[in-house]
Amino acid sequence: MIRKKSANISFEIAGNLVDIHKEAVYPARLTIEDNKITDIKKQKRVSKKFIFPGFVDAHIHIESSMIPPCEFARLAVVHGTVAAVSDPHEIANVLGIKGVEYMISNGQKVPFKFYFGASPCVPATPFETAGGTLGVKEIKSLIERPEVKNLSEMMNYPGVLSGDSDVLEKIKLAKSNKKPIDGHAPGLAGKALKKYIKAGISTDHETVGIKEAVEKIRLGMKIIIREGSAAKNFNALIPLLNKYPDMCMFGSDDKHPGDLIKGHINELVKLAVSREYDLFKVLRCATLNPVNHYRLNVGLLRMGDWADFQIIDNLADFKIRAVFIDGQKVAASGRPLIKRIKPEIINNFSAQKVTDSDFSLPWAGNKRLKAIVAYDGQIVTGKFDATAKIKNGYLNSDTSRDILKIAVVNRYKKEKPAVSFIKNFGLKKGALASSVAHDSHNIISVGVTDKDLKDAVNGVIKSKGGLAVAVGGRVSVLPLPIAGLMSDKIGEHVALRLHKLDLLAKKLGSGLTSPFMTLSFMALLVIPALKLSDKGLFDSRKFQFVSQI
């Protein structure tokens, strides 16, 4: 993260200093000069306010908030967040290195500490069509930049285990530049896990249980306790703090704008402390551990540190009065003080209009078929052997058993859509469609009829990216003109429009907490068990395509 230094700032501020190094709270007066803390003097008089270090999100994809970095910062700072370690592989899958450079440049326009990694798995697999590639050449260019602090999540763990030459070369580049390597190892255990970690992988954010986490920690891997809009592992993993406080960090992974408006890392801190976890162990996860692990230029309330901190009312509800980054006040009383910037539009979208017949599936004589099972609040899926509903020689959705058609449409070139079936979306009529479809971000849609699917997908195509709900010929759309992933509107507007679309989806019958977030992960082939790419139905455990029947 390199941006223009703030204008010289000089002031003093007093309060109860929450010292994470000495694990003590004491009255102190801080002197800030030239954006840094130049003096800390203990005081005798106890204050009514507390000075906390600023929070760090250790793993997030900014694009998943559907707003660019400059707008993300405005929503995050009010919650005491001063920095984020972000993997820009969403936009990289759409635009390649041009997309990563867009994120870095956009983030430098605001007083917030963004640290974008070099994404090694773009595209995530060879089993889908992406718009961009980050090969060894591109990774070398990125990893050598001082503002790039890490090699982002190494999703291709089969490549690590099999000794894939490109994968190992990217890891070697990170090591030679002394940059940590993030992992992605859902369910990996035993000898395979040992080999993965031995290759140099240092973190994992896909861990969902204590047993799995402890095995990884004992082998030297740090665990990012994830609590986002899609995957929520905080409740399962927070007990790790009792025994392994130095090996844990907090991360969102994916955070929708409405959820970001409600809270960020501060909510995890507040929740953990309310459950009587030690304050300083909790704060290590939110501040010290990510700063040290990624070698971030983020202050931790020591003399000589950058003046990154927050003022909090009390240690019960953690109400934030003000937030400072490099000594500049960026939030006060729940309001961002960062000036709004109109973002540049950048995109890669060539999809052509579709027809009803593009989604038809002729019956091949077998009544049994495989269906994806979606789970609320999770990005993993299951498998389900379903009995096909056949009408006029074609396979159809069956709302009586909650089995719907799901389709992925190539957004980069004209190809016939891949069509399959999915359970647990709950729609009784209509369809949803989205150009946010991890990781290649083709257009993914779920719906009751072929016409519904067509209308929803064409709504996304007309906007050159976005989210859509279609029913009875009417289509509601949230346009996402920046790479088909992000809006150019203010975060509050995006959150409201997304909320309205979610309500529409629920009105159509969906019982999912966040229908569009869940839908966006149904094409993520690196997460088990059954997913759909633009090329067909894919078994993520076997790492191969499978037949629909």
CA distance 497 to 435: 16
Alpha-carbon dihedral 48, 52, 54, 59, rounded to 10 degrees: -120
Distance in angstroms (rounded) separating the CA atoms of residues 256 and 232: 13
Return the pLDDT at 81.
99
Residue 104 and residue 112: Cα distance in Å, rounded? 12
Taking the CA atoms of 377, 380, 382 and 387 in sequence, report the sign of the dihedral they define: positive
Note the residue count of the chain. Answer: 549
pTM above 0.75, yes or no: yes
In contact, 278 and 248? CB cutoff 8 Å: no
Q: How far apart are CA 386 and CA 268, in angstroms?
A: 40
**DSSP-derived secondary structure letter, 473:** T
Alpha carbons 319 and 270: distance in angstroms, whole number: 10
Domains of the chain, CATH where assigned: 55-298 (3.20.20.140), 356-545 (no CATH)
Alpha carbon distances (Å) from 460 to 349, 428, 438: 10, 21, 16
Contact predicate 1/147, CB 8 Å: yes
Strands (DSSP E) found in 228-367: 248-251, 309-312, 320-325, 328-332, 335-336
**Which residues have a Cβ under 8 Å from the Cβ of 404 and sit 6 or more positions away?**
397, 421, 422, 423, 425, 427, 446, 447, 448
pLDDT the model gives residue 368 = 86
CB-CB neighbours of 516 under 10 Å: 25
CB atoms within 10 A of CB 378: 16
> Would you report the helix, strand and coil content of the chain in percent, each value rounded to 5?
30, 30, 40
**C-alpha to C-alpha distance for 409 and 455, rounded to whole angstroms:** 13
Mean pLDDT by 10 residues, the chain (549 residues): 59 97 97 97 91 98 97 98 98 98 98 98 94 98 97 94 97 98 95 98 97 98 94 95 98 94 98 97 99 99 98 92 98 97 97 97 86 91 92 94 98 96 98 97 99 99 98 98 98 97 97 92 93 96 88
- Look up residue 376 and give its two tokens: 């609320």
From the list 549, 104, 221, 529, the residue with the least C-alpha distance to 370 is 549
Query: Residue 349 in contact with residue 437, Cβ under 8 Å?
Result: no
